[in-house]
Amino acid sequence: MELFAGSPSESTTAGSKPSAPKCPQVEPYKAKFATKELDALDDYLTTEDFRNKSIARLSGAVQIPTESFDDLGEVGVDPRWDVFYPFAKYLEHTFPAVHSALQLETINTHALLFTWPGTDSSLKPSLLMAHQDVVPVPKETVKQWTYPPFAGHYDGKFIWGRGASDCKNQLIAILEGVEALIQADFQPKRTLLLSFGFDEEISGQDGANHLAPYILKRYGPKGVAVIVDEGGAMLESWGKSWAQPGVAEKGYVDVDIVVRMPGGHSSIPPAHNGIGVASELISLIEANPYEPSLDEHNPYLGLLECGAEHAADFPKKLKKLLHKRDSNAHACAKKGRKDELAIEAAKAGLGTKYLMTTSVAVDLIKGGVKTNALPERTQFTVNHRINVGTSSSAVLNKIGRLAAQVAVKYSLEPVFFNGSEVPNSITLSYRDTKLEPAPVTATPVSPNSTTPYSLLSGVTRALYGEELLVAPGIMTGNTDTRYYWDVSDHLFRYSFGWDKEQTGLGNIHTVDERIGATAHVDAVRWVVGWVRAVDEAEF
């Protein structure tokens, strides 16, 4: 299939060859195979009748409070997991064709794996993902919501409620698209998998951590052709609209730090107690942040190249630094040399800075038990999101060096990463959620072949128009794809619904979460286009 479109920035000079574009854009792509039923389906998805039904389906899903809490006990033991039973029943009632035509397996009680068998077993399956759970709504914030957080209220433009944009919209859009294709008598050649975890918001240990090995065992290493999960959305930058499917994720590590110092009566305190020493270490950590650094594999470098190539409003200084980087490709790798391009790009704001910087945030702290007793044990937790091009070991080494400085100053024993804790010490440990930066999915675009990335780009531009440009993106947070690295080489974290009038990420994880109805309905249309297109692809 022909997907390639040349870059408008290609130029020639006398006696020279055209310069190869760094960010070629593919032509819009729609599936070639069609029937009158599929044509009728395309028309129906644009009707007011479908829009109203689609809004009602998402609203109903939001009304079931599938919250996942950090302190949840074992599945089957803690009754708070039981909310996923009525949610599964809601899906069964709402999508009867899916539950009839697809094989449904429940993994670890609440994870859902649907399989739509294809007619050609030689083709690797494709996989669409989403998660059923949502972050909790703190009781003290309920009154701040414009509409009740689990009402699923539709105001004529937005569907409001927890999970409306993270990510019941994606889960429902996937099921709506597949339901519609079944009703249009579509039969896939390529097997389609739908994988829905139920604890993504608390790291996916019980959901995706069980689903991925199950799929891996069935299809083998790299046995799935392409995976699309939640992730990067559309944004406006440099006067252009961009779709940014996430092709990488930053790493992750939580470091727990415990300061153990002698207690005693607070009426005769020493010059420094455990809380004071912990505070000094926190201040030292915050005073030594990571510098922005753009590794050659970081997808944000690809976005900058796209901006320089396609956007007239792209900053001249960034373009100059890009050219300088090209001219001296290894300059930034030299020890001790600051990355000028990354530092300049990071000035766009924190949302941009942390696409290319290891983040450090003290998120939890606890110390002391009584006002007249000196604290004997003070603990705090430092969360890191690890930049592409570095590693968890580099992060642990740095925070260890800082902690050692404070330990020496106060004659405390440094006990680092060995699982023990002793009196008169500073102890460092990391949690089992430690994760290296994800493998980066390749994003080749070629006039001679179709790749998963070029197909995704073509389907997106077919739906939203050629004014939407596609560039690789990176996730500062982590998705359930962290467990799927061995399942496929082609992992995309992509929120494929777009409402041009809606800015931002729909207030995910906070008060007044919502999604534009247009974005949701178009997400269904994207799913239909994607399933049909990937069915014809030869990868």
The answer to whether the CB of 426 falls within 8 A of the CB of 415 is yes
Q: Give the residue numbers annotated as catalytic, written as ranges.
A: 133, 200
DSSP-derived secondary structure letter, 503: -
Q: In this structure, which amino acid lies at residue 303?
A: L
| 201 appears as a binding residue in the annotation | yes
Beta-sheet pairing, 234-237 with 425-430:
unpaired
The answer to whether the CB of 187 falls within 8 A of the CB of 102 is no
Q: Is the peptide bond before 23 cis (omega within 30 degrees of 0)?
A: no
158 forms beta bridges with 516
- The token pair that represents 134 in the structure block: 């949502």
Give the DSSP H/E element, type plus range, for residue 393. Answer: helix 392-409
- The token pair that represents 340 in the structure block: 């000028």
| Distance separating alpha carbons of residues 483 and 485, to the nearest angstrom | 6
CA 4 to chain centre: 27
Give the DSSP H/E element, type plus range, for residue 60. Answer: helix 48-62
- The token pair that represents 205 in the structure block: 């240990």
| 229 appears as a binding residue in the annotation | yes
CA 346 to chain centre: 20
| 295 appears as a binding residue in the annotation | no
Q: In this structure, which amino acid lies at residue 100?
A: S
130 forms beta bridges with 196
Strand arrangement, sheet containing 234-237 = 234-237, 240-243, 468-470
- The token pair that represents 397 in the structure block: 């080494």
384 forms beta bridges with 253, 360
Give the DSSP H/E element, type plus range, for residue 215. Answer: helix 208-219
| Distance separating alpha carbons of residues 138 and 158, to the nearest angstrom | 22
- Which residues lie closer than 8 Å to 280 by C-beta, 6 or more apart? 272, 406
DSSP code string of 74-121: -TTTSGGGGGHHHHHHHHHHH-HHHHHHSEEEEETTTEEEEEE--S-T
Task: Indicate the annotated binding residues for Zn(2+).
Answer: 131, 166, 201, 229, 509
